[in-house]
Structure 1
Amino acid sequence: MDLSLQLGQKIKSYRLARGLTIKELAEASQITSSMLSQIERGQASPSLNTIRLLSIALDEPLYRFFLDSPDIQSDVVRKENRRQLIDQGIHYEVLTPDMNGTIEMMQLTLPPKAKSCQEPLAHKGEEVALVQSGTVELTLDFETCVLYAGDSVRIKSETKHTWQNVGEEPAVVIFAVSPPSF
């Protein structure tokens, strides 16, 4: 595919993802609507300065405009290919293909009565967790809360926390952390 067309398609994709019209993005990036339209259709090659202005207006790092379009298969993690960490029966599975993005997804499986760690630990990055199955007790700093299947919780950055399965069956917790920190 022509390099100008690839670049134009990326710009259009970022613009549409933000719900911007050609006119709105053109104004925000200080170029004409007709120039932006030509760039998006691969009929004009923007200068590096124009790309920089577009990256600022779209709030996208400049380097992203020059990355090859990834093959969707590189972003798929098959269940049997998940990276795993198992320690004393506590089972973590990485659900994201790598840690290069802005978010990571994990699955924690706790055997009955098991704790994720002995002392609550903190990390950078906000965490959102969903109890997929079982019953867990979540300790946040010095408070505890019991969560059941279907319950979710947000854990703010740098909050010490630990998970404990208080049920008789394995408990599964799916969580996302942004930025990645596991």
Structure 2
Amino acid sequence: MDNIDIGEKISHLRKEKSLSIRDLAKLANVTPSLLSQLERGLSNPSLNTIKAISKALDVPLFSFFIDEVNNKDLIVRKDSRRKVIFPKNNDIVFEILSPESANSIEFAIVNLIPYSQISNELMSHKSIELAYVLEGKIKIYIEDDEFILESGDSVTLPPGTNHRWENPFNEQAKIIFSINFK
């Protein structure tokens, strides 16, 4: 793993926001001297200092710890999608549409063949889930209710919502999912 230059990232973000060292130091409640030392790589920040600087710059804390993304890594070609196969039903394959660098959000597409289901039981996630029916129609169970979603319909499931998907119809259904892990 390459070394991460947090000071360089602070400097880049500060300049991107047109802030002087004094301006950022004041916003982050640190001394200009410390900030200058951090940017020049002469000092290592504490986690609390990085937190204060990330808040002052209005950027996520993790942004100081990730490498720059190569633009070509933002593209996911249809023939190189990562796949998730449900062990109990090999007919259900989620193809991940988002790149590995997406971090907090995943997009996936799934083809539900006629008379198939993703799970026999209600399931829930710790994150919000959105789904859009691209083709066909499906049945979704949300808690004690059931709904038919047709092509063009969408649903948003808040974190912790018990739900289950199935295709009880004689035509294939295609659904795009988005799960936000923030």
Structures share a fold, TM > 0.5?
yes
Return the alpha-carbon distance in structure 1 between the equivalents of residues 54 and 150 of structure 2.
43
Return the alpha-carbon distance in structure 2 between the equivalents of residues 161 and 99 of structure 1.
28
Return the alpha-carbon distance in structure 1 between the equivalents of residues 123 and 13 of structure 2.
40
* Residue among 106, 109, 113 paired with 1:107: 109
Query: Would you say the 8 A contact 1:7–1:66 is kept in 2?
Result: no
Deviations 1:112-160 (A, max 9, x none): 1211111111121110111111101110111011111111111111211
| 1:54 partner letter | I
**2:63 corresponds to 1:60:** no
User: What is the match of residue 69 of structure 2?
Assistant: 70
**2:28 corresponds to 1:29:** yes
Aligned length, in residue pairs: 163
Unaligned stretches of 5+ residues in structure 1: 16-20
**1:80 aligned counterpart, secondary structure:** helix
What is the CA distance between 1:100 and its match in structure 2? 6.4
**2:108 aligned counterpart, secondary structure:** strand
Q: 1:25 to 1:129 in 2, by over 3 A?
A: farther
- Share of identical aligned residues, percent? 28
Return the alpha-carbon distance in structure 2 between the equivalents of residues 74 and 157 of structure 1.
29
User: What is the match of residue 13 of structure 2?
Assistant: 10
Return the alpha-carbon distance in structure 2 between the equivalents of residues 74 and 150 of structure 1.
30
| 2:84 partner letter | L
Structure 1 vs Structure 2 CA RMSD = 3.2
Return the alpha-carbon distance in structure 2 between the equivalents of residues 125 and 132 of structure 1.
22
**1:55 aligned counterpart, secondary structure:** helix
**2:87 corresponds to 1:84:** no
User: What is the match of residue 136 of structure 1?
Assistant: 138
What is the CA distance between 1:54 and its match in structure 2? 2.3
Query: Would you say the 8 A contact 2:126–2:160 is kept in 1?
Result: yes
Unaligned stretches of 5+ residues in structure 2: none
Q: 1:53 to 1:158 in 2, by over 3 A?
A: closer
**2:117 aligned counterpart, secondary structure:** coil
Return the alpha-carbon distance in structure 2 between the equivalents of residues 25 and 134 of structure 1.
53
User: What is the match of residue 118 of structure 2?
Assistant: 116
| 2:90 partner letter | Q
User: What is the match of residue 95 of structure 1?
Assistant: 97
Q: 1:98 to 1:114 in 2, by over 3 A?
A: same
